[in-house]
Amino acid sequence: MARKKNRKVTRYPFFLHINVGMLFFAFMIVYVVICVVIYFNKKHIVGYEVMEGSLSSNNIYEAVALRSEKIVTTDKSGYINYFATEGQRVAVGNLVYTVDESGDLLDYLKSQGSEQAELTDDDLSELRTQIVSYSSSFKPTEFSSVYDFKNSLDGTVQKLASASVLQNIQSLNSGGSTAQSINYCYSPDTGIVLYSIDGYEELTLNDMTADLLDSSKYEKNQLISNTLMGQGDGAFKIATDETWSIVIKENDLEKVQSLAEREYVKVRFLKNQDESWGKVSYYTNDAGDTFVAFTFTNSMITFAKDRFLNVELITEEEKGLKIPNSAIAEKSFYVVPKEYVVKGSNNNYGVLRDKYDESGNETSEFVEVELYNETEDSYYIDDVSLRSGDIVIKMDSQDRFTISQKDTLIGVYNINKGYADFRQISILYQNDEYAIVKSNTTYGLSVYDYIVLEASTVENEQPSANLDTSSEN
């Protein structure tokens, strides 16, 4: 008999082998996932350190300058040569220009080799001193001073050159015909000499139009030496009054009214950063355009050669504690008469709240409260300890007051103590990003306090466990 094969399979007992390391690793993964989920679902509150600062509400405009300008015409025809320095003051009777009726003067000077002015050693020394003086005081951060130096140097060169040419003219006084054709013209008034004519000389605020304030449409006639002029042509103009104005266009009537109510506004001239106070006036023309003028009684000579100026109106400049607008919040508080608020044994404030014990007997309890603001006869109290409808008792009296009236305060959340505590603020000035508030007020902020950067992320007295007070400035 063939032997039968034994095909019986014996099952061995199954043992569960638990790897402690793998179990710990799995636990850590679960823990990390939970922490990440909690982190992204948690309100992240960023702190902001309060610092002192200032805000200025500035408005930049292109303005047109209006002055008392008088055009002086020539009563002779011929070639004109200027001798007074443009932008400088002249007195009555000072020589301003000459008119060469024959046109032979330039030819004569060329024949004598005098068409170019020769500077003496003293003249060169004057120029050298001026250049060295400016070079030693130059600051790269004040580059605009280069233009002032250029104008000053141009004036000096013109003065020296004119004096040299004048000497050559006077050398012709030997009785020649060339000398007899030269007419000397003097200033009829005291003022600032200007060698350009642009049609703005007699304009006032009431004459302004939008086109006159458009510098791209501005044209002027620059008056140059050795130019042929006819009788009655404008030879130069003279600014006779130190009082002058700048005019801007502003169709925002609320802003215009605000400027007018100030009466005087500080104006910064961007050309050289000078500042001056201008008296405000305004005019609206038939086209509906409103123009605002700022009138000054000084500095006219500084800008005498400028018809258009870029200016900045400094309408606000408040100093205090600078905080971001995102930190500002509004919160409602109960308004309680001062006579119902008492001071406890630990100098803490509270109220006596009416209540009934288990036997139904009327009694009272001291409820500590925090004050957030006060008026002449009331305190502002948070709604954490009190509820609407609570009855408080006046000390040593049977008078009762029911908690119900509320009012809103503007403030920020202070986190110096590790929790969000509302603090009232008094805003001095505010722009689109920041506000300037009073410092060291009774219920307000002090410098170096920490506040919540985003007020919408926190509630009053939120505990420190929920705060992520990483600081931002």
Counted domains in the chain: 1
DSSP 408-473: EEEEEEE-TTSS-EEEE--EEEE-SSEEEE-SS-TTS--TT-EEES-GGG--TT--GGG----EE-
Phi first, then psi, for residue 22 (nearest 5°) are -65, -40
Assigned domain for 77 exists = no
Answer whether 97's CB lies under 8 Å from 83's CB: yes
Report in angstroms the alpha-carbon separations of 211 from 91, 206, 218, 283, 287.
Answer: 35, 14, 9, 15, 12
- Segments forming the whole domain that contains residue 425: 324-472
Dist. CA 360–CA 252, nearest whole Å: 68
Q: Is residue 45 part of a domain?
A: no
| Rounded Cα–Cα distance for residues 53 and 30 (Å) | 48
User: Residue 267: inside a domain, yes or no?
Assistant: no
Closest CA to 253 of 265, 244, 261, 245: 261
C-alpha to C-alpha distance for 355 and 362, rounded to whole angstroms: 6
The answer to the question of residue 406 being in a domain is yes
The predicted pLDDT at position 46 comes to 81
Taking the C-alpha atoms of residue 445 and residue 412, their distance in angstroms, rounded to an integer, is 9
Residue 320, beta-bridge partner list: 53
Q: Are 255 and 249 in contact (CB under 8 A)?
A: no
Please tell me the predicted confidence (pLDDT) of residue 470: 47
pLDDT for res 344: 77
Taking residue 209's Cβ as centre, other Cβ atoms within 10 Å add up to 14
Using the structure block, give the residue that is written with the tokens 């500035």: 58
- Tell me if the pTM is above 0.75: no
Sign of CA dihedral 19, 22, 28, 30: negative
Contact 446, 423 (CB under 8 A): no
Classify residue 77 by burial, with Cβ atoms within 10 Å: 0-12, 13-18, 19+. Answer: middle
**CA angle at residue 413 from 410 to 417, to 5 degrees?**
145
| Start-end of H helices in 138-211 | 145-170, 177-180
Q: Which ranges of 2-120 does DSSP label H, i.e. alpha helix?
A: 20-41, 104-111
Q: Residue 263, CB half-sphere, CA atoms under 13 Å: how many?
A: 0
Do the domain assignments include residue 369?
yes
Q: What angle do CA 442, 445, 446 make, to 5 degrees?
A: 100
CB environment 8-43: b (16+ within 10 A), e (fewer):
eeeeeeeeeeeeeeeeeeeeeeeeeeeeeeeeeeee
Pairing of strands 471-472, 47-49: parallel
* Residue 18 is assigned to a structural domain of this protein: no
Residue 375: inside a domain = yes
Contacting residues for 444 by C-beta, under 8 A, at least 6 apart? 411, 423, 424, 425, 426, 437, 438
In the prediction, which pLDDT does 116 show? 54
Q: Which of 314, 249, 345, 257 is nearest to 288 (CA)?
A: 249
For residue 7, the model assigns a pLDDT of 63
- Quote the CA–CA distance of 27 and 422 in Å, as a whole number: 41
Structure tokens at 332: 């409602």
Per-residue pLDDT of the chain (473 residues; tens, 9 = 90+): 455 555 666 665 655 566 677 777 888 888 888 887 776 666 667 888 888 877 766 688 899 999 999 999 888 888 888 888 788 888 998 888 888 777 666 666 555 544 455 666 766 776 777 787 777 666 676 666 676 667 666 656 665 666 666 666 666 555 555 556 778 888 888 999 988 888 888 889 998 999 998 888 888 888 877 778 888 888 899 998 899 999 999 888 888 888 888 899 899 888 888 889 999 999 998 888 999 999 999 888 888 888 999 998 887 666 788 999 999 999 999 999 999 998 877 778 888 888 887 777 878 888 888 889 998 899 999 888 888 888 888 888 888 899 899 999 999 999 888 888 899 998 888 877 888 888 888 888 888 889 988 888 876 555 444 555 444 55
The reported pLDDT for the residue numbered 56 is 62
Q: Is residue 349 part of a domain?
A: yes
